[in-house]
Structure 1
C-alpha cells in the first residue's frame, strides 16, 4: 500500500476543510503534505486524523500545515439544538468552558442560554 493510499482519509479531510495551497507528493515511501488551514482547530483535526492512521510519531508522512487565522481557535456557526456547553465540549473537551465562548462573543450574546441557529461565534484560543 502506498503512503498516499494509507493516508487517503487525511487527504479527503483536507479537501472537505478546503485547505488552501494544498500540495501532496510521495517520495521514497514518505507522503509529503502541505497547506493552510483556516484555524488551529482545523489543523488539529488534520493532525488527529494523521495520528489515528499512523500513530503518535508516524515516519511515513511529513505534514506542514500552517494556520491562516491565528487570532481565534475557530469560528463556529450555531446549529439548531446546540448550547454553549455543547459547543465548548466540542472544541475544548470541557462543557464548563462555555463562559470563555460567551465572553468572547459578548458583542452578540447577552445571555449564555440564548444562542440562535446561524449565529457565527468566535471560539477563542485558550
Structure 2
C-alpha cells in the first residue's frame, strides 16, 4: 500500500537512473536506498517524497547517497536556453549565471553564447 502511494518517487528514481537501488516495505514503512548521480538529482527525489508525504513523512525512509558531489549537476543545453534561465532553474536566481559561466570557462568564452547539446557543469554554491 505504501509502495503504491510513493510510486511516483520510484518512477522518478528509474527515470534518473538511480544506481544500487533497493526498495522494501516493512510494517507499513517504505524503505528505499540508492545512489543519485548528483546532489541535484538527490534533491529532486527528496522534493518528490515531500510532495507526496509532507515535510516529515513517517511512512517512508530514504537513504540516498550521491556518486559525484564535486558538482551540483551536469546540464545539457536545450534550444532557447540562456545561462540566466539555467541558473534560475537550478538556483532560483538568474543572476547566478556568472557562477555557471566561470565553471565552464574551458568551453564558454562568452556568457551570451551557449549552444544546444553543450554539457555544462552546474557548480555547487
TM-score bracket, shorter-length normalisation: over 0.9
* Alpha-carbon distance in 1 for matches of 2:48, 2:39: 14
Structure 2 gap segments, 5+ residues each: none
- Aligned residue number for residue 14 of structure 2: 15
**Alpha-carbon deviations, 1:85-121, whole Å to 9, x = none?**
0000110011110000000000100000000001100
**1:92-107 pair list within 5 angstroms:** 92-107=91-106
- Aligned residue number for residue 82 of structure 2: 83
- Using the size of structure 2 for normalisation, the TM-score is 0.99
Instruction: Give 1:23 deviation, angstroms.
Output: 0.3
- Using the size of structure 1 for normalisation, the TM-score is 0.99
Specify the SS of the correspondent of 2:96.
helix
Instruction: Give 1:34 deviation, angstroms.
Output: 0.3
* Alpha-carbon distance in 2 for matches of 1:104, 1:16: 27
- Aligned residue number for residue 40 of structure 2: 41
Misfit runs of 4+, over 6 Å: none
- Aligned residue number for residue 64 of structure 2: 65
